């Protein structure tokens, strides 16, 4: 695994936003150049709809990834860096819609490899 400070090739490819809410939140599907990929609860996808039967808690992870003009969600071959300013603008827009944000994480790609967990897809 690449260490954060030992590499020059680090790209922020999106953000995970954690929302406290009783039911699955209805999140905006697009914020600037970020597109909602999935909403998960306890690591399992709950949006788009999933066939998984899980006991949910009141904390949801909403994954937003960079959307490219040509192919939708960016892949490691066509990475687009998300600036801190864009991250904070996205958080402000989500907060302005009345969602309670408990935390967020930048989704890093280090030396071409995702350094964030996958969401379990129940489809």
Q: Is the pLDDT of residue 3 over 70?
A: no
CA–CA distance from 51 to each of 39, 71, 104, 120, 122 (Å)? 14, 27, 26, 11, 5
- Looking at residue 52, what is its pLDDT? 65
Mean pLDDT (whole number) for 79-101: 93
Residue-level pLDDT at 123: 43
Domains of the chain: 9-110 (3.30.70.1570)
- To the question of pTM greater than 0.95 for the whole model, the response is no
**71 and 25 Cβ atoms separated by less than 8 Å:** no
Residue pLDDT, tens place only, 33-49:
899 999 999 888 899 87
> For 28-32, 76-80, 110-114, which range has the lowest pLDDT when averaged over its residues?
76-80
Comparing C-alpha atoms, which of 47, 77, 81 is closest to residue 66? Answer: 81
């Amino acid at each position: 695994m690449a260490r954060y400070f030992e590499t020059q090739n680090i790209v922020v490819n999106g953000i995970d936003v954690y929302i406290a809410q009783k039911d699955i939140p209805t999140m905006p599907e697009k914020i600037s150049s970020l597109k909602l990929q999935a909403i998960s609860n306890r690591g399992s996808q709950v949006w788009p709809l999933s066939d998984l039967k899980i006991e949910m808690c009141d904390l949801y992870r909403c994954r937003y990834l960079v959307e490219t003009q040509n192919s939708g969600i960016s892949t490691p071959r066509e990475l687009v860096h998300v600036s801190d300013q864009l991250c904070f603008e996205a958080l402000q827009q989500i907060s302005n819609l009345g969602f309670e944000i408990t935390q967020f994480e930048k989704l890093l790609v280090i030396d071409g490899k995702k350094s964030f967990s996958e969401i379990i897809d129940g489809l």
